[in-house]
């Protein structure tokens, strides 16, 4: 009995000697072979550092041609890409079904009532299966987002419209149990389908969750300090962890802050509180990153889009300098939380802007030892439908080129392309 008691005391002392982060890292290292883990502020793969340049490609599961999927992954692998981020959702209304069947549009959910119907057939999740399988063949891991804050490809407002009806605010997606239940039902479907696959890098709760959406506004219950999004992040990350003890989990958020003294700027003679720092978006990056089942931080960066009133000819606003400051703020937060950091989306329109500004952003990210994923990866030479196909919205293959939203980087844009291939080489050296 005395030996047992001494053993218990010894184990307790060891546990107390480990910080909470160290204990989390100890647990994460006991995962199956090929699963990515964390150690402090760094990712690891099978006990070795895993530094990477990744690629955003939401359109990849939308391709009808397996040969084009293979071609895209081959191009990614040649560029040194180690992680792909794509949508784990594609939902349509029942009224769109006939058109989807005719056009070959990928879809995973059909909404015709307050319940969605799963499509796990050859035009549905079997396409996502193929993407994840092919990623593994090319030594690439996949981040899957469970839903979208925005309307594109069936996001939060599809749930709201079918379940809660008209006249609601966007933020009820995060609080209404009637909506959370079918969201979790879909999450369970995706996680259970792939939770044993080492090809999955991480689960992402939502792409760019905010209090407001494309169409629906934020309600009075989702304002700075109400913690609607932090509570939802906690609830859903705990739920995902209950389904999958091994894969990493992250928010997919843009990295908005809720600072007691937010950044301010002058516009038209008025001092404006900055949306990215005042909590109005709903996130609290510093707090969200401390959640026990959020394994690493994500943030996005689009200063041209976010500050059109400041980014004008003759203005003293610098897109480049703003971006460096945004990077630094997230690095400080991640270091404080002792968790890894991923600059998950960033983009600029205009090829000259890309070649002039991306080098300093990429250098700052790599100097501070975190991973990057530009928005977005482009490829050429796609062949389905002769290389020309309207997918949905304005997303289209044109002359063999993947969809271009103005931020896309293609292999023939060598000055911009080489920024990321060279960065991938640096990250690969750090992973040895």
Q: Which are the catalytic amino acids?
A: 208, 345
Whether 373 and 407 have beta carbons less than 8 Å apart is answered as no
Q: Alpha carbon of 288 to those of 64, 308, 323, 334, 338: distances in Å?
A: 38, 28, 21, 11, 13
Q: Tokens for 326? A: 């945004």
341-346 and 395-397 strand pairing? unpaired
Could you give the CA distance from residue 354 to residue 345 in angstroms, rounded to a whole number? 14
Q: Report the SS3 class of residue 371.
A: strand
Beta carbons within 10 angstroms of residue 32's beta carbon: 11
338 to 35, 38, 47, 249, 332: CA distances (angstroms): 20, 10, 18, 15, 10
Instruction: Find the largest Cα–Cα distance for the chain.
Output: 79
The two tokens of residue 22 are: 């160290």
Which of the 8 DSSP states describes residue 218? P
| Angle subtended at Cα 134 by Cα 30 and Cα 197, rounded to the nearest 5 degrees | 25
The DSSP code for 217 is: P
DSSP string, 122-175: TTTHHHHHHHHHHHHHTT-EEEEES-BSSSTTT-HHHHHHHHT-TT--GGGGGT
Q: Which of 377, 375, 379, 376 is nearest to 400 (CA)?
A: 379
Query: What is the C-alpha to C-alpha distance for residues 147 and 183, in angstroms, rounded to an integer?
Result: 8
């Amino acid at each position: 009995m005395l030996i047992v008691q001494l053993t218990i005391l010894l184990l307790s002392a060891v546990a107390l000697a480990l910080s909470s982060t160290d204990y989390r890292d100890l647990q994460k290292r006991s995962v199956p072979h090929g699963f990515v883990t964390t150690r402090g502020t760094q990712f690891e793969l099978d006990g070795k550092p895993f530094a990477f340049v990744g690629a955003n490609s939401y359109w990849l599961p939308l391709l009808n041609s397996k040969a084009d999927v293979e071609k895209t992954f081959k191009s990614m692998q040649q560029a040194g890409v180690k992680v792909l981020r794509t949508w784990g959702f594609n939902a349509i209304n029942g009224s769109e079904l006939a058109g989807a069947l005719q056009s070959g549009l990928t879809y995973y959910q059909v909404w015709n009532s307050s319940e969605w119907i799963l499509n796990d057939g050859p035009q549905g999740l079997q396409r996502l299966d193929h993407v994840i399988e092919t990623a593994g063949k090319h030594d690439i891991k996949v981040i899957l987002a469970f839903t979208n804050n925005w309307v594109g490809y069936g996001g939060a407002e599809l749930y709201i419209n079918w379940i809660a009806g008209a006249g609601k605010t966007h933020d009820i997606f995060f609080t209404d149990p009637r909506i959370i239940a079918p969201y979790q039902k879909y999450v369970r479907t995706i996680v259970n389908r792939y939770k044993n696959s080492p090809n999955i890098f991480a689960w992402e709760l939502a792409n760019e969750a905010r209090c407001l959406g494309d169409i629906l506004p934020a309600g009075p219950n989702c304002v700075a300090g109400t913690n609607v999004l932090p509570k939802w992040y906690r609830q859903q990350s705990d739920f995902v962890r209950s389904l999958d003890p091994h894969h990493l989990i992250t928010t997919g958020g843009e990295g908005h802050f809720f600072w007691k003294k937010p950044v301010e700027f002058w516009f038209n003679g008025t001092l404006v509180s900055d949306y990215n720092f005042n909590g109005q978006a709903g996130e609290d990056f510093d707090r969200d990153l401390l959640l026990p089942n959020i394994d690493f931080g994500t943030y996005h960066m689009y200063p041209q889009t976010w500050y059109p009133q400041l980014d004008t000819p003759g203005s003293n606003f610098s897109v480049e300098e703003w971006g460096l400051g945004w990077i630094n703020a997230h690095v400080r937060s991640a270091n404080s939380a002792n968790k890894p950091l991923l600059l998950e989306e960033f983009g600029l329109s205009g090829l000259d802007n890309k070649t002039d500004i991306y080098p300093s952003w990429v250098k700052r990210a790599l100097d501070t030892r975190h991973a990057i994923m530009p928005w977005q990866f482009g490829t050429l030479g796609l062949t389905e439908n002769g290389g020309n196909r309207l997918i949905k919205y304005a997303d289209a293959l044109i002359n063999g080129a993947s969809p271009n939203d103005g931020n896309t980087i293609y292999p023939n844009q060598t000055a911009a392309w080489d920024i990321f291939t060279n960065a991938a080489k640096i990250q690969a050296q750090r992973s040895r």
